Every structure is written in structure tokens, then in C-alpha cells.
Structure 1
Amino acid sequence: MASAVPIAIGYIPIAIAFGVIARQSGLSFAETVMMSMMVFAGASQFMAVQMATAGALGMEIIFATLVLNFRHFVMSLSLMDRLKHVPPWARGALAFGITDETFAVASMDEKGGNGRIHPLYLAGLIAVAYGSWVFGTVIGVLFAKAIPRAISDSMNIALYAMFIALLIPAVRKRWWAGAVALIGMALNALFGLFLSGGWATVLATVAAAGCGAYLMPKDQSPAPEKRRVERME
């Protein structure tokens, strides 16, 4: 839970901004809070509100959210490989709470041993992150009429600050993590010249991940057979 405090500090102002913007866009109290409780994906929620305000159909919003959050499938597969010792129902519950931030922090956890992640560590991490996101949304909804639109929009800067705070420790340990981030930013700017923001982000993410798989040293992800041999030795 202590590891999730930096995430919560970043989530709360962003969730407040979402709550304010959603209410100012015409969503009800229940719709706004339930979206945070059931979707739990900041970028997708902001996009959904914008699309709904523009008159997009429900299936269009669902499909756009699926594409934008497709990276979560890869994140889940990566973490579930380190949770093979956990019952399937528990893995399913933990998978719901995987976001960019919880994945980044959980991936750096080295306390599980043998490449594993302790399920209670991940549960505490997700509980604080999820609770802070829902809490911030409720605060934003309650004070939507009192917070000017200009202030709520400026709260989004916390998202970038949080990503930088998560990236710096990884870059200090692994140079290729910084290279992947720079490649992703450059590709996103390039694709943004002739694609919409959503598609540019999706394509840049996939391409940067492919570059990361090439740049990452092979000994960073030893095969199960290699780990068994090392333990025997």
C-alpha cells in the first residue's frame, strides 16, 4: 500500500478533473462515479466523455476504449506469468486493477522471489490506486459547480508528472527503458501529423513496445528452464 502512495497522489487530482469535466459535460452523478468504478482507466474515461458530448454512439465509444486499452492485455499477460502460483479467480480479480501505473510499480517489485509477485503486494497496490481514483472522482463531482473549467483542465498536468516519476527510477536501472520512452514520444508526434490522437497513441505504443523487445537484454527475462537450472545450482 505504501508503494501506491505516489500513484494516489497523481490519481486524485486527475480524477477530480475527470469528475468536474464529466459533470460539466452533462453526465449524472451516478454515471460519472460508476464509470470510474467499472472502467478504471483515466485516458479512456476522458475520451469517452468527449465522444459522448460529441454525439458518438455507444458502440463507437466501446470500440475506441478497447483499442486504446488494448495494451492492458499485454500488461496482464506479463504480470500473470509471475502469478502462476495464484488461483485463477484471484488472478482475475487482480487483473481488473492493472493500469499503466500499477503495472509499472508491480513490474519493479523484486520482493516476491524467483521472478514472482506476492499477490498481497499487488492487492494492496491496486486497492490504494483504485480507491484514490474513485475518491477523487466523487470529490470532483461534488464540487463540479464550484471549480472553474480552466482550473479543472490544468489539473491534467499531474498525469505527466506522475509518468515522469515512474519512469525515472526505471531509467536509472535500465537505459533501454528511457530509449523506449523517447522512441514512443517521437513516433507519437510523427503519427499525430496524419492520424487522430487516439490512433497515433495506439500505433506509437505498439511500435515502441516492439523496439523495447529488441533493445531489452535477453538476460532481463530468463526463460523458466534457465531459472530452474539457476535454482538447482
Structure 2
Amino acid sequence: MDEKLDIHTAIKDTLPTVFGYIGIGIAFGIVGKAAGFNPLIVLLMSILIYAGSAQFITVSMLASHSPILSIVFSTFLVNSRMLLMSMTLAPYFKKESLSKNILIGTLLTDESFALGMNKLNYSGNKLSFRWFNTANGISYLTWIISSLGGALLGNFITNPEKLGLDFALVAMFIGLLYLQMISDNATSTLLQIIVIAFTLILIYVGLIFIPGNLLILLVTLLGCGFGVVIKHAFF
């Protein structure tokens, strides 16, 4: 990464995350096909819902004939963390129009958010609409194409876990976390390690008592609050 915030730089910065989208997108397409949905339905889900984990949940709930309201609520709950991410990004686009802010929020993903937070370390704590919208657009198109490809391959691949496709997204987030740590010169490495350890403990303990989808939102709030408190108290 560098300090530039143009379209060409956005393409270069986003390319490393593309492989994660391809892996998990193909996995979703295969799962959707195995659940009995044709490639067109899988394609429309990726275009209209565009939420990786929520799409997996939607497929399973539709296959089990769950009520529509239950599916809508589950999708909202899974993606409620996007409200926090959007609020975090909003101050960097105060000078942009409402329509541009809506576009960024609509196509925002965990990966593009992490990419944007990492970019701040190189760009003097600035983000541009051109850079972020390009990153979002590449992610969106890659997800759509990959999920359609997975649906078409569904007749030939019945077990995506054997190919390690289910680990693609996890591997990408590990890479993004590593890049964030080594590039953030303003935050102590010890502080970062403490917050990461705290987050891991919360997740480990929380999974015993709290549903995974709700746990993501809860750990995000507690982890951020914990980081702010110990930073001002000890760092």
C-alpha cells in the first residue's frame, strides 16, 4: 500500500482480498446448488443480498422452509455489525454527497472495511470516495461471479471442505489483521496484542453461552471499548 487514493491504487490494494472472495463465493455457490437452488437463484441472492454469512444462513433456512420473517430477522442480526462499521467510516466522507455515502455503506463488507482501516495508516488518516468505491465494486463483482461459478460447478464438487474452500475467508482475515498490525505505527504493538488476546478470550467464552451471530456484534462493542479504556489508561 501507499498514500495514493485513486482508482488505479484501489485496484492494486484490493487484489489480495479477491482470492478470499473467490474461495468463499465458490463455496457458497456449491452449497446453494446442493440445497436445490438453480444458478439463477444463487446469482440473484448474491446480487440482492450480498452478505456472505447471511447468504449461507438464508440458503439453509429456505431449504428448511423457515418463515420469511425469521429469515429477514436472521439476516439483519448477522449483518447488524455493518451499522458500527458504517458509523466508523462516516466521518471520513463528511464532504461527500448523501448518495455517495449510501453507495459506500450499501456495498461495504468486512474485508473492504478492514482494507480501509489499514489504508488510513498510509494515507495520512484520509479516505476518498474513488478509492473506497472501487474497492467495494471489485469485491461486489468478484463475489457475484464467484458464487455463480460455484453454482455451475455444484454438479461436480459436492464437498467444498475437502478443497479447503471453507478456510479461504479465515485466511484472508488473518492476512488483513497482520497487515494492520505491522502498518499501524501510531498504536503500540503490545496494546494490539492485548486487544487481540482479549477478543479471542471473549469469543472462546462467549460461544458457550451466546449464539454466534449475536456474539460478533457483542464482541465488537466490548473489544473496542476495552481497547479505548486501556489505551488511555496505560498507553
TM-score bracket, shorter-length normalisation:
0.7 to 0.9
- Size of the aligned set, in residue pairs, is 218
Residue 204 (structure 1) shift: 2.5
Task: Provide, for residues 50-92 of structure 1, a one-character-per-residue CA deviation record: whole Å limited to 9, x for no partner.
Answer: 2223332111111112112111111111112101111111111
Matched, 1:169 2:179: yes
Query: What aligned pairs does 1:1-233 form with structure 2 within 5 A after superposition?
Result: 1-110=11-120, 113=124, 115-151=125-161, 154-172=164-182, 173=184, 174=187, 175=189, 176-216=191-231
User: Quick one: distance in 2 between partners of 1:70 and 1:178?
Assistant: 26
Q: In structure 1, what residue type is equivalent to 2:70?
A: E
Query: Structure 1 residues 87 and 125, CA, compared in 2 at 3 Å: closer, same or farther?
Result: same
Q: In structure 2, what residue type is equivalent to 1:50?
A: S
Query: Structure 1 residues 206 and 140, CA, compared in 2 at 3 Å: closer, same or farther?
Result: same
Q: In structure 1, what residue type is equivalent to 2:78?
A: L
| Unmatched tracts of structure 2, length 5 or more | 1-10
Q: 4+ runs of 1 displaced by more than 4 Å?
A: 150-153
Residue 132 (structure 1) shift: 0.8
Residue 10 (structure 1) shift: 0.7
Task: Provide, for residues 140-197 of structure 1, a one-character-per-residue CA deviation record: whole Å limited to 9, x for no partner.
Answer: 0111111122547731111110000000022223433443333222212212112333
Task: Provide, for residues 17-48 of structure 1, a one-character-per-residue CA deviation record: whole Å limited to 9, x for no partner.
Answer: 00000111122322211111122221111122
User: Quick one: distance in 2 between partners of 1:44 and 1:178?
Assistant: 30
Query: Structure 1 residues 188 and 151, CA, compared in 2 at 3 Å: closer, same or farther?
Result: closer
Question: Identity rate of aligned residues, in percent?
Answer: 25
For structure 1, which segment, 4-13 or 151-160, has the greater mean C-alpha deviation from structure 2 after superposition?
A: 151-160
TM-score by length of 2: 0.84
